[in-house]
Amino acid sequence: MMISCHLLEVFEFFSNAANLERITPPELHIQILTPDPIEMIQGTRIDYHLQLYGIPFGWSSLITHWDPPREFDVQIRGPYKAWAHSHCFYNQTNGTEMIDEVSYWLPL
């Protein structure tokens, strides 16, 4: 299957760590602590600072699977007991489909 230009654009947007600040709700006050540029490859670690209801906390993510432009996933450590976040991208006749899946366990 031919990979569309649109799929490449969508993948590049979502795999660019700097765009996380653009798509995260402003009430979380996310700040990426890892210096730019962040090279996205398997094993890349990214550190963040966030606030939720005025409570500050740190967050770290690790790229555990990297397969551009098809998929990448992120294992995150932070306020949750466990957090796994995957992104998959597919060509569709009228654009690109992205499946964004999150699995988590609350700390208590």
Give the domain 5-105 fold.
Alpha-D-Glucose-1,6-Bisphosphate; Chain A, domain 4 (3.30.530)
Sequence-distant (6+) residues with CB within 8 A of 64 are: 42, 73, 74, 75
Confidence grade of residue 1 (pLDDT, cut at 50, 70, 90): low
pLDDT in tens, 23-57: 999 999 999 999 999 999 999 999 999 998 999 99
pLDDT in tens, 57-91: 999 999 999 999 988 988 888 888 888 889 999 99
- 78 phi/psi in degrees, rounded to 5: 180, -135
Q: What does pTM read for this prediction?
A: 0.84
Position 2 scores a pLDDT of 60
Domain extents in the chain: 5-105
How would you list the strands of the sheet with 55-67, edge to edge?
31-32, 45-52, 55-67, 71-77, 82-92, 95-105
